[in-house]
Structure 1
Amino acid sequence: MAKTKEREVYRGRLKGVGLRHTLPRERILAYLDRKNIHPTPEELYQGLKKKGYAIGLSTVYLNLQVLRDAGLLWEFKDQQGNTRYDGFTEKHHHLFCLNCGKIEDILTKDLPEFNAEPIQKAIESRMGWFVEDPRLELRGFCPDCQ
């Protein structure tokens, strides 16, 4: 994607949730907007620095919170309790390797037999919760660790 077109895509995504476009937000979204990318804030900061971007760690933390609160990123904890971020917006679930810590995306459309709706409805009716976004988390061993 050409830089100008890419910038317009991120500008539109930010505007669509009521946020103004800034270079740090664009770069964070661009970095996270790939399948199987789930960095901690520190890993994201180091990754952006390696790309030659001058960005502060506090700027990364601040913008991650803003983007998360706007619904453009998903925040979750890995098996060690580290906070990680996911900007891949296609409906998906996560596979966690219990040995090496690898996290891999699995698309919902690749799990046609998994239907979260009955689980969601059962939780809502039995426990009174409103389940906004049911997600499946699978833990096991990746091919390299088996």
Structure 2
Amino acid sequence: MPRTKEKENYRARLKAVGLRHTLPRERILSFLDRKNVHPTPEELYQGLKKRGYDIGLSTVYLNLHVLREHGLIYEFKDPKGYTRYDGYNEPHLHLVCTSCGKVEDLLLKNLPELDLEPALKAAAERTGWALEGFRLEFRGKCPNCQG
């Protein structure tokens, strides 16, 4: 169960995008707000059940859709075509194994050579788009699949 400070953080994040607080939303955000967690909806459902939460699979799907639509989580397809979700707020990119499908977070603060802000600004200036952010993934083989 999230601690009081974390609960307040989730409530504030929901309120900031115009969503009301519900326990399923708080629990989903709490589950996804960890490094290297990129579950499918079914994996998320099973993870919440293991934590002792009484939640339905349809509730998980509905809330994932709402949270994604409001920009609180990120949805992406892994190399095997599975839909996965990411709610980790620390600026990061994904390392994706093209062999086994593993997805790992790489924090941008751990890769200071990669400053994407100038590229984002240049892209906005050249295209006229009002860009809000970026998602980047590197693809290759993880250490386990290189053997």
Is TM more than 0.5 here?
yes
Q: Does 1:73 align with 2:69?
A: no
Q: How does 1:1-146 map to 2 (within 5 A)?
A: 3-121=3-121, 123-124=123-124, 129-146=129-146
Classify 1:2/1:28 alpha carbon distance in 2 versus 1 (closer, same or farther; 3 Å): closer
How many angstroms does 1:128 deviate by? 5.3
1:129 offset after TM fit, Å?
A: 4.6
Q: Which moved more, 1:115-124 or 1:59-68?
A: 115-124
SS of corresponding position for 1:96: strand
**How many matched pairs?**
146
Give the TM-score of the pair, scaled to structure 2: 0.87
* Coordinate RMSD, CA, aligned: 2.0
Counterparts of 1:22 and 1:132 in 2: how far apart (Å)? 27
Q: Residue type of the partner of 1:31?
A: F
For residue 42 of structure 1, what is the amino acid of its counterpart?
E
CA drift at 1:91: 0.9
Partner secondary structure for residue 14 of structure 1:
helix
Percent identical residues: 68
Q: Which amino acid aligns with 2:36?
A: N
C-alpha offsets along residues 38-82 of structure 1, whole Å, 9 cap, x if unaligned?
Answer: 001111011111112111111101101111122211111111221
Paired letter, 2:33: D
Amino acid across the alignment from 1:108:
L
Q: What SS does the corresponding residue of 2:10 show, helix, strand or coil?
A: helix
Shift of 1:7: 2.2
Q: Which runs of 5+ in 2 are unaligned?
A: none
Measure the CA separation in 1 of the matches of 2:2 and 2:117: 39
Deviations 1:15-50 (A, max 9, x none): 222211111001101100100000011110111111
Alignment check: 8 A CA contact 2:2 2:30 kept: no
Q: 1:127 to 1:60 in 2, by over 3 A?
A: same
Q: Name the stretch that deviates more: 16-25 or 122-131.
A: 122-131
